[in-house]
Amino acid sequence: MNRTHKIIAGCLVALATSVLLAHAHPFGDAGLAAPRQQGTILQHADVPAAVRTTLETKCADCHSMQPRPPLYARIAPVSWLVERDIVEGRKAMNLSQWDSYSADKQEELKAKILSETKLHKMPLPQYRFIHWSSTVTAPEIDAIASWARGSTASPDISTAGQPLMAADAVRGKLAFEKRCTGCHSLDENREGPHLRGVYGRASGSVPNFGYSAALRQARITWDDKTLEHWLAGPDEFVPGVDMDFHVAKPQERVDIVRFLKESAGK
Ligand code: HEC
Ligand code: HEC
């Protein structure tokens, strides 16, 4: 064999090995070799067509049972990385199983879809690098925002006509766990800042948390009244903030505020 033949033979062996190795799934099997499943994402959900298209074209590859893997995704080690993203992506949010999520979970995911796209954390950078048209555009983000905020719109700050029970920290803790822990924890910064001691604290003051400029400059002291307004609609209270989530039920808001107050030792 001359040199060129050796190189070609070497390449063929490497390719064959890679294709074989792609049958191994060190980071989980995303089922890419199986025929593409039929079905739609967000099954029966009431989603505006524009939002559905964005999610289908820019997110479904990792967040549904209908990925469209490119050819090179069949070759190890790329296949392993692609599979890892898909397996992890589906775990975080599977748009093919939307109907099976509780209403609360759907609300939380919608808020996260909005914040992940607004902050350009999603699609993942490695995906945008290859699918360069997959960056979510400003009009798309607007459409997602009105979808995500619309469903439980018109924050009811007035509490008009709704007889409230006395605020209760135990109920508040349950509501906190259900609604807030997707993004917050009491003691660690996650997508949102840590919340132990937030009651009585100045807004935007956790030193190592990356706040929006709007909240950093807001100069609010968190108390019953300001937290109530915040939870009813952060963006109405302080325009331009990064928390895309609100609590529609007045009772839940007062309970959560009481819980935050107690966990601050106040
Ligand atoms: C290349 C694969 C990939 C693409 C494409 C992708 N994601 Fe993700 N996504 C992931 C992975 C992996 C995770 C879990 C790890 C993480 O949060 O970074 C995730 C997590 C998420 C989460 C949950 C975050 C959390 O904190 O629970 C949301 C919401 C999300 N993605 C939305 C989107 C949206 C919206 C799009 C399309 C605009 C999108 N993703 C496109 C891979 C992807
Ligand atoms: C989808 C993610 C998300 C959810 C769900 C969420 N938050 Fe937030 N929260 C954030 C982000 C992000 C910020 C920072 C906002 C900014 O910098 O503009 C924040 C900020 C806050 C602040 C201001 C803290 C400070 O240091 O000034 C409070 C108070 C707060 N959240 C309470 C809550 C409560 C209570 C819940 C549950 C009812 C909740 N959040 C649910 C993402 C979320």
Residue with CA nearest ligand 1 atom 10: 89
Dihedral sign (CA 141, 146, 152, 154): positive
- Counting ligands in written order, the one closest to the CA of 229 is 2
Whether residue 243 contacts residue 206, with contact meaning beta carbons closer than 8 Å, is answered with no
Question: From the alpha carbon of 58, which atom of ligand 1 is closest?
Answer: 37
What's the mean pLDDT when you consider all of the chain?
88
- Identify the residue whose tokens are 């990356």: 210
Residue 172 pLDDT level (bands cut at 50, 70, 90): very high
| Sequence-separated (6 or more) residues with CB below 8 Å from residue 149 | 114, 235, 244, 246
Portion of the chain with pLDDT greater than 70, in percent = 93
- Identify the residue whose tokens are 């400029």: 213
Q: Which residue from 123, 104, 119, 106 is spatially nearest to 54, judged by alpha carbons?
A: 123
What domains can be seen in the chain, in order of their start residue? 3-150 (no CATH), 169-263 (1.10.760.10)
Q: Answer whether residue 158 shows pLDDT above 60.
A: no
How far apart CA 101 and CA 38 sit, in angstroms, is 20
Q: Answer whether residue 201 shows pLDDT above 70.
A: yes
Residue with CA nearest ligand 2 atom 35: 180
Residue 36 pLDDT level (bands cut at 50, 70, 90): low
Whether residue 171 contacts residue 255, with contact meaning beta carbons closer than 8 Å, is answered with yes
Question: From the alpha carbon of 216, which atom of ligand 2 is closest?
Answer: 17
| Ligand 1, residues at Cβ distance < 6 Å | 58-59, 61-63, 85, 88-89, 92-93, 109, 112-113, 116-117, 122-124, 127, 136, 191
pLDDT at 184: 96
How far apart CA 67 and CA 59 sit, in angstroms, is 9
Helix (H, G, I), strand (E, B) or coil at 104: helix
Residue with CA nearest ligand 2 atom 19: 192
How far apart CA 138 and CA 118 sit, in angstroms, is 8
pLDDT at 112: 94
> pTM higher than 0.85, yes or no?
no
Lowest mean pLDDT among 7-11, 33-37, 230-234: 33-37
Residue 41 pLDDT level (bands cut at 50, 70, 90): confident
Residue 132 pLDDT level (bands cut at 50, 70, 90): confident
How far apart CA 39 and CA 71 sit, in angstroms, is 22
Residue with CA nearest ligand 2 atom 40: 180
Question: From the alpha carbon of 108, which atom of ligand 2 is closest?
Answer: 5
As beta bridge partners, residue 202 has 221
| Sequence-separated (6 or more) residues with CB below 8 Å from residue 142 | none
